[in-house]
């Protein structure tokens, strides 16, 4: 549960922020893509910190 909520949460939060940046700069999906990747990575990092070694 915790792991899933971090993984999805990471992508949703930073993908969402990236989408806002897209709206602001007029780029189409670049910000959201970068955001989702960063969010996914951060989610993995959090899961490892919380649950792993």
Which residues contribute to the site for other proteins (CB under 8 A)?
1-2, 5-6, 8-10, 12-14, 17, 38-39, 42-43, 45-46, 49-50
Could you tell me the smallest distance in angstroms from the CB atom of residue 5 to other proteins?
Answer: 4
**CB burial of residue 12 (10 Å; 0-12, 13-18, 19+):** middle
**∠ CA 49-13-30, rounded to 5°:** 115
Could you tell me the smallest distance in angstroms from the CB atom of residue 25 to other proteins?
Answer: 20
Could you tell me the smallest distance in angstroms from the CB atom of residue 24 to other proteins?
Answer: 17
């Amino acid at each position: 549960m915790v792991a899933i909520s971090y993984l999805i949460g990471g992508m949703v939060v930073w993908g969402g922020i990236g989408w806002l940046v897209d709206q602001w700069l007029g780029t189409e999906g670049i910000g959201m893509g970068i955001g989702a990747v960063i969010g996914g990575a951060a989610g993995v990092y959090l899961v490892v910190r919380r649950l792993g070694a």
